[in-house]
Amino acid sequence: MRDITANRQLSGFAARYINALSLISLHHKSGIVLQNTGLVIEVSCPGLYLSQLCEILPSLAGTERILCQVIGFKEDRTLIMSYKKAAGITFGCKVVALDMFAHTPVGKGYIGRVVDAFGIALDDQGAIEADTFMPIHREPINPLHRNAINDVFETGIKAIDTTLTLGKGQRMGLFAGSGVGKSTLLAAICHRSQSKQQINIIALVGERGREVHEFVHETLGAEGMKNSVVIAATAEQPPLIRAQAVYSAVAMAEYFSEQGFEVLLIVDSMTRFAMALREIGLAAGEPPTMRGYTSSVLSALPAIIERCGNFANRASITGIFSVLTEGDEQNDPVAETLKAILDGHIVLSSALAQREHYPAIDITRSVSRLFGRLSNVSQKAAVKSVRNVLVRYEENRTLLEMGLAENKDTQTLRKQYQSCCLFLQQVKDEHFTHSDSLALLATLLKECQHD
Ligand SMILES: Nc1ncnc2c1ncn2[C@@H]1O[C@H](COP(=O)(O)OP(=O)(O)OP(=O)(O)O)[C@@H](O)[C@H]1O
Ligand SMILES: [Mg+2]
């Protein structure tokens, strides 16, 4: 970490961390650089493990040590990748193993802060004192250490709380194309959590720097930041760092869950996380499968999702993972894999966004697998009626909008559809409690029955 933190002001704690790192490495395995092929550096350094950290000592005078991670093996060589654009690396540079795997600093000091993938402040509010360090990769959780999900997770968004009710510890996908309102919706859900003992951990992966600034200062705003930690790795950063931002966010979520905070973990987007892993996998020589994704990418996705849930011995981690779709999800292995392993998906529709219907949730294509468990009989009946109206209207949209085949039934359907759309829309800063949303749903049902 010496190298990564070198250009920024180090807190006393970070400096101690770096010192601690060198102390941990009591016995250094070492080797030399044999080849540098762009992203991947081949070294002779036997005895290293996959994901272990190591450092290259560049030959140029005045250059910092370069932190790297082992990403694979090729015959008698170890393949490593650096955490930054590597300058000063040449054949024969010394490589020294660190006897550790990637960790991330965590602590209550991170609440309200924007940090990079290593927990270093990006927000000019000074260095952050960490409480401890957490490994970013952990063993899978024993399935018997999980509890059933019985408590509703209130999002404050009417359309979700009534038709796609979420539970604490649920893992949900947010599937949408670009510019359809993902960030706005995610920020609105974070705002809702202000009054509760909830921490939002938000990983922004592969975005442009401008987008991160906009999200933190405008979309989420000072209010939304109060209970949140934002971990950002922008698009131009090396793939190891983009992937690490997600792993660090999960580790941070686990820390707060162990401290008794209910956590909302948001990853925006899992697609860009998968793309970063694809770059690493391909560079390590893994064979590509559909769309170039390697098999390690598709197994890394469930490993992240499974770290969320409702646990027996600590507070829940609810996960919302955005997935970029451009209308051909069937051919996108990331979207397909995530759909299969998540506990439901919220689909945002560009057609709705074009009609200024916000949040642009297409409830006929969305599903919460815990809706049955978390809703009562009258809610189920009302939601069934709403879905029915939306489906019937969509099937006859052309006729209805051209005013063809006008009769009492089409007039009723049009009216019911308008009422449903009005109910499902919500302006940006508006929030509803779960019970208010259910009361409005009941009123909507009465209106539809009356028509
Ligand atoms: N609830 C809303 N109310 C009004 N306008 C909205 C709402 N949600 C989104 N928008 C409009 O859509 C635009 C894009 O929203 P947003 O940035 O949230 O989309 P995104 O899906 O995150 O985009 P990207 O793919 O670029 O990350 C906003 O600038 C705003 O104009
Ligand atoms: Mg966005």
- Average pLDDT score over residue span 48-53: 86
Query: Per-residue pLDDT tens for 292-316?
Result: 888 889 889 999 999 999 998 899 9
The verdict on 37 and 8 lying in the same domain is: yes
pLDDT band of 7, cuts 50, 70, 90: very low
Cα-to-centroid distance, 441 and ligand 2 (Å): 29
**pLDDT of 45 over the 90 cut:** no
Q: How high is the pLDDT of residue 154?
A: 92
Tell me, what's the pLDDT at 308? 94
Q: Is residue 256 part of a domain?
A: yes
Q: Please tell me the distance between residue 210's alpha carbon and the centre of ligand 2 in angstroms.
A: 11
Q: How confident is the model at residue 195 (pLDDT cuts 50, 70, 90)?
A: low
For ligand 1, atom 15, name the residue with the nearest CA: 181
Distance 238 CA to ligand 2 centre (A): 20
Q: Which atom of ligand 1 is nearest to the CA of 214?
A: 17
pLDDT level of residue 256 (50, 70, 90 thresholds): very high
CA distance 451 to 448: 5
pLDDT of residue 11: 56
**Is 314 a member of any domain?**
yes
Tell me, yes or no, whether 203 and 345 share the same domain: yes
Q: Is residue 150 part of a domain?
A: no
Q: How confident is the model over 137-146, as pLDDT tens digits?
A: 887 788 888 8
> Looking at the CA of 180, which ligand is closest?
1
Q: Say which CATH number the domain at 177 has.
A: 3.40.50.12240
pLDDT exceeds cutoff 60 at 10: no
Of the listed ligands, the closest to the CA of 182 is 1
Instruction: Judge whether 158 lies within some domain.
Output: no
The reported pLDDT for the residue numbered 255 is 95
Ligand 1 atom at minimal distance to the Cα of residue 176: 21
2 pLDDT tier (thresholds 50, 70, 90): very low
Q: Give a yes or no: residue 162 inside a domain.
A: no
* Mean pLDDT of the chain, nearest integer: 86
Within this chain, do residues 363 and 386 fall inside the same structural domain, yes or no?
Answer: no
For residue 74, the domain's CATH number is: 2.40.10.170
End position of a domain, from candidates 101, 126, 154: 101
Last residue of a domain, one of 101, 124, 148: 101
- Residues 212, 311 within the same domain: yes
| Total domain count, the chain | 3
Same domain, 285 and 320: yes
Residue 305 lies in a domain: yes
pLDDT at 84: 78
Whether the predicted pLDDT of 435 surpasses 50: yes
C-alpha distances (whole Å) from 145 to each of 125, 140, 167, 300, 323 are 39, 11, 17, 21, 28
Q: Are both 364 and 216 inside the same structural domain? A: yes
351, 370, 389 — which closes off a domain?
A: 370
Question: What percent of the chain has a predicted confidence (pLDDT) above 90?
Answer: 43
Convert the pLDDT of each residue in 387-418 to its tens digit: 999 998 888 787 777 776 777 778 888 888 99
- Summarize the confidence of residues 188-216 as an average pLDDT: 85
Identify whether residues 82 and 16 lie together within a single domain.
Answer: yes
Residues 110 and 249 in one domain: yes
Ligand 1 site residues, Cβ closer than 6 angstroms:
176, 178-184, 358-359, 428
155 assigned to some structural domain: no
Residue 3 has pLDDT above 60, yes or no: no
Q: Verify that 327 and 350 share a domain, yes or no.
A: yes
CA of 181 to the centre of ligand 1 (A): 3
Same domain, 77 and 204: no
Secondary structure of the chain in the HEC alphabet?
CHHHHCCCCCCHHHHHHHHHHHHHCCCCCEEEEEEEECCEEEEECCCCCCCEEEEEECCCCCCCCEEEEEEEEECCEEEEEECCCCCCCCCCCEEEEEEEECEEEECHHHCCCEECCCCCECCCCCCCCCCEEEECCCCCCCHHHECCCCCEECCCCHHHHHHCCEECCCEEEEEECCCCCHHHHHHHHHHHHHHCCEEEEEEEEEECHHHHHHHHHHHHHHHHHCCEEEEEEECCCCHHHHHHHHHHHHHHHHHHHHCCCEEEEEEECHHHHHHHHHHHHHHCCCCECHHHCEHHHHHHHHHHHCCCECECCCCCEEEEEEEECCCCHHHCHHHHHHHHHCCEEEEECHHHHHCCCCCCECCCCCEECCHHHHCCHHHHHHHHHHHHHHHHHHHCHHHHHHCCCCCHHHHHHHHHHHHHHHHHCCCCCCCCCHHHHHHHHHHHHHHHHHC
Mutate to test the pocket of ligand 1, among 178, 183, 190, 427 (most ligand atoms within 8 A of CB): 183
Asked whether residue 81 is domain-assigned, the answer is yes
Residue nearest ligand 1's atom 30 by CA: 181
Selected residue with higher pLDDT from 9 and 145: 145
Residue bearing the CA closest to ligand 1, atom 10: 181
Amino acid at 442: A
pLDDT tens string 257-268? 999 999 999 999
pLDDT at 199 over 80: yes
pLDDT number for residue 402:
74
Do 237 and 302 fall into the same domain? yes
* 67 and 113 together in one domain: no
- Quote the ligand 1 centre to 269 CA distance (angstroms): 15
pLDDT of 113-147, one tens digit each? Answer: 999 988 889 988 888 988 988 888 887 788 888 88
Could you tell me the residue range of the domain that residue 241 belongs to?
104-138+168-370
